[in-house]
Structure 1
């Protein structure tokens, strides 16, 4: 279900400039940038409300309704010929699609904490390869037919998910009724301190990571002298393959016995080096930097989320993840507005240098916020029950 969702929802993402030019006659990069920022903002604002609703209504039933509405709005996007109405309809569609992010905390709630690392890693890989698959499928659709047909395929994906959810509801014998309000057995503040700290680090990480994306293919063609868009696409996809490698290695029993904090620190260091290498005029260094960045980003993002769910409680997974997701998207939006001003004609290395500096800054911010100890996790002292801190979390 996640793979279908990611593939369908990312089909149009690389082709928004083409879509607006062909469908509405708008050839303006600022318009495209504003729309992508609006998309990101809509999803990050809508998701917390679905997470709150999920405390009273089962997620499977939420998805049945929201994905059905999203499918109808997707069909409306296909027929839309007015740019104002397209903005209204498409952003409304994304409000309902945002509910599907609940699948992540939902699955984690079904598993014990020892399985969280594998689940988080699996979702990371699905997101990477789903995005690549969506871009390939979107390009294939554009070659065969009108670009707006993508919205019909997106609607079809939503309908398939509705069918799967109805099947799950029947198999699990779920009742269409509100859950009773249940107070958490663990007393905590409305927004615990770990949300602020993990959120701040996530914002900086996603800000730095996104700076290295938008102009990479053009930068690769400039540095390598190879004009092939296919080769550029392969270089762009290196982080996805490194994420798959990271998932495989995470299942190895020979993995380092480090805390999540120590893994994150190491990842931030390697990510900074990888971004700096990509600013090199030497194409071999760019490839090495891309490999380092891809693996480091997998480690950082997975370990940050493992850390989040180790400090949260199952009944708060959805709400806490929604808050962190909000901060991640703030970083992406900030980077999307900044990256255009950093790029000069035939000089695409500046975003990588700024991103490397941002990753280095995040390294020291992480130390300051979390007070990470350099000694082994085995030296950490257990704390009283229901009073978790970041130092007590084991990898």
Structure 2
């Protein structure tokens, strides 16, 4: 794949994630300041509605991408999302805000097509490192978005955040036009030389079994529920136990898991360390549960240490599970496979967001850590029982699916300098 194409697609992903993450930790505060809505269930229900909207919208865009070029879809969807973001800046009605903002996220979901497009343009042997770098970009974008959102909440009118959201969508439009003009709608380049043997292998492959996809989807549902149930009210929880009430520093603490993902990438590159093969899905899930337990101790030190361990565990677990989506599949079906699994991921986030609001309303914020730990354990148990089905594939043996292949110093060097290989 051309370096220019890769860089543009990854930068588009970064901008989109930053835009999405601006208000993610701060919706309770945003609703309170902008609309005077104080009910804690409102934030949970709204986040659930966002996820539910994207959950249904993304498969529609993936279906259209079978016949309409992905770049054209992304150009149109990001343009409409940007205009709707500007409308959210002006709106004063709580009900109208719901309608316009959910419409905005319907079109924002179009940028999710970047992920299967990246995987389709890369050879299969590079999928693990692609997933690793996309995960890093998502974490980086979430960190920057949370810090930027916290800063805006502290120094300016909260509605100004929607100007930044609109800007991220319009920047994505610019990159769509750039790629379209230089490489065509289908991103054909002079270095897109295919291997005839690989082409035949891809044509002979059948799309991933629906039952395998649904089994993986169930594991993803439990994982995303457990990983996200503490998110809507974490800032509220931190401010209740900390002497530091600044929204900026609350955003920093919220972003520690993403910061840890970046630190792991830097260490593996600097020290030339490969991820040990003993880092199985089960071990990193246990690490995440320990992180949750430490956060539930409710002291500043224990929360910070817990966020660090939780971030490392969730990072590796998410890469492992994402790699399974493309394991032994057909490139032509990647968008369909991703949209199916994303449906279950979104269901996990939807249920977790709503459940968080109910738990805080009827119990307390700390209960979300207990529920999150339970669902992470349930993820490991479910994966264990379905392991033989999930690791079955046409081209890779089960023993080759491990975290040691995801990020190494060599893969980072290739990413920075290679023109034909990721």
TM over 0.5: yes
On the 8 A contact 1:197/1:370 being kept in 2, the answer is no
Residue 333 of structure 1 corresponds to: 350
Kindly report which structure 2 residues correspond to 1:1-395, keeping only aligned pairs within 5 A, or say none: 1-174=12-185, 185-186=203-204, 188=206, 192-222=210-240, 225-229=242-246, 230-248=248-266, 254-256=273-275, 258=277, 263-281=280-298, 283-343=300-360, 348-371=365-388, 386=394, 393=401, 395=405
Assess if the C-alpha contact under 8 Å between 2:295 and 2:304 holds in 1: yes
Runs of 4+ in 1 over 6 A off after TM superposition: none
Change (3 A) 1:142 1:241: closer
- CA distance 1:190–1:236, shift in 2 (3 Å): closer
Contact 2:257 2:308 survives alignment (8 Å): yes
Shift of the 356–103 alpha-carbon distance from structure 1 to 2, 3 Å rule, reads same
Deviations 1:120-175 (A, max 9, x none): 12222222221222233233334554332322332222222212211110100337
Contact 2:224 2:345 in 1 (8 A): yes
8 A contact 1:43–1:98 mirrored in 2: yes
Q: CA deviation at 1:222?
A: 5.0
Cα distance between partner residues in 2 of 1:172 and 1:115: 22
- Give distance in 1, aligned partners of 2:326 and 2:272: 22
Stretch deviating more after TM superposition (236-245 or 93-102): 236-245
User: How far apart are residue 273 of structure 1 and its match?
Assistant: 2.3
Which secondary structure state, in structure 1, belongs to the residue aligned with residue 265 of structure 2?
Answer: helix
Matched position secondary structure for 2:95:
helix
Q: Which has the higher contact order (CA 8 A, sep 6+)?
A: 2
TM-score normalised per structure 2:
0.78
- Look up the match of 1:179: none
Q: How has the CA–CA distance of structure 1 residues 366 and 164 changed in structure 2, closer, same or farther, with 3 Å as cutoff?
A: same
- Give the C-alpha shift of residue 353 in structure 1: 2.4
Structure 1 gap ranges (5+): 177-183, 374-379
Q: State the 1:106 CA deviation.
A: 0.9
Once the two structures are superposed, residues 53-112 of structure 1 have per-residue CA deviations (whole angstroms, 9 ceiling, x without a partner) of: 112122111111111122222222223233333222221221111010011111121112
Residues paired across the two proteins, number: 376
- Following the alignment from structure 1 to structure 2, what is the Cα–Cα distance between the partners of residues 284 and 363? 28
Would the aligned equivalents of 1:372 and 1:391 in 2 still touch at CA under 8 Å?
A: no
Tell me if structure 1 keeps the 8 A contact 2:206–2:330.
no
SS of the residue 1:138 aligns to = helix
Query: What are the superposed Cα offsets for residues 28-56 of structure 1, whole Å, 9 maximum, x if unpaired?
Result: 33333322211111011100111111121
Contact 1:311 1:390 in 2 (8 A): no
Superposition deviation, residue 290 in structure 1: 2.1
**Range with greater deviation from structure 2 (12-21 or 125-134):** 12-21
SS in structure 2 of the partner of residue 255 of structure 1 = coil
CA contact (8 A) 2:48 2:351 kept: no
> Per the alignment, do residues 16 and 304 of structure 1 end up closer, same or farther by CA in structure 2, a change over 3 Å counting?
same
Q: Would the alpha carbon gap of residues 106 and 250 (structure 1) be closer, same or farther in structure 2, given more than 3 Å must change?
A: farther
- How far is the alpha carbon of 1:277 from its aligned partner? 2.8
- TM-score when normalising by structure 1: 0.83
Q: What is the CA–CA distance in structure 1 between the aligned matches of 2:130 and 2:400, rounded to whole Å?
A: 21
Unaligned runs of 5+ in 2: 1-11, 188-201, 406-422
| Farther off after superposition, 340-349 or 204-213 | 340-349
Structure 1 residues 79, 282: closer, same or farther in 2, change over 3 A?
closer
Query: Closer, same or farther in 2 for the Cα pair 1:253/1:347, shift >3 Å?
Result: same
Q: Distance in 1 between matches of 2:74 and 2:376?
A: 36
Alignment check: 8 A CA contact 1:212 1:275 kept: no
- Whether contact under 8 Å (1:24, 1:83) holds in the other structure is yes
User: In the TM superposition, what whole-angstrom CA distance separates every residue of 1:341-372 from its partner, at most 9, and x where no partner exists?
Assistant: 43489964332223222222222211111149
